[in-house]
Amino acid sequence: MATRSKSSQRWLKEHFSDPFVKKAKAEGLRSRAAYKLEELVERDRLLRPGMVVVDLGAAPGGWSQWVRQALGERGRVIALDILDMPPLAGVEFLQGDFREDAVLSQLEALLDGTSVDLVLSDMAPNKSGVDAVDMPRAMYLSELAMDFADRHLRVGGDFLIKLFQGVGFDDYVKELRRRYEKVAIRKPAASRKRSPEVYALAQGRRAQIK
């Protein structure tokens, strides 16, 4: 039987002692990530009844689950991930690789011309541990998410995306500022302090890119 590395042992200890992990388990939520979204959404009042929300990189479903509960019975939640995700009542799920045109076409078919009110992206690549490899992969996914929002988000709609600080980060935020009336960088309490992840909240999609 293989022994766990010290880093994986440390991660497991941190994970199971994490108050947000314990809270998620107690409240029947699929992921501690739901509390990141809860803080971000409630601070800026991003959700309204009847909204159409697309959740990119949704598995295991923590964000979609929380949004569905917050919206109640009105509105649509469409989730996508390369990984399988157990069904959630009221959530339309598409499994596939967001980098593939065929999968994007399937997602667009699900929308069937409906404009989106809120695009969420918690996507992240599988990490190699080499920044020179991981950052370009992460930025590529982020650019795809921004392109999707460009095509499907209604004018005035909002875009919330996880980003990793590093090469390309500043340029990406500049591109968001060209597209949206207001852009803020957030670090929710449930995001681990040592993690380089932050969330960019872009509000009020402009009719034209500046």
Enzyme catalytic residues: 162
Q: Which residues fall in the annotated binding site for S-adenosyl-L-methionine?
A: 61, 63, 81, 97, 122
The closest alpha carbon to 154, from 197, 113, 96, 205, belongs to 205
The residue count for the chain: 210
Query: Which residue ranges are tagged as binding site?
Result: 61, 63, 81, 97, 122
Q: Which amino acid is at 168?
A: G
**Can you tell me the distance from the alpha carbon of 94 to that of 78, in angstroms, rounded to the nearest whole number?**
8
147 CB-near residues (< 8 Å, 6+ apart): none
Strands 76-81 and 197-205: unpaired
Residue 76 in contact with residue 43, Cβ under 8 Å? no
Please give the structure tokens belonging to residue 1.
């039987």
End-to-end CA, the chain: 58
Distance separating alpha carbons of residues 154 and 24, to the nearest angstrom: 32
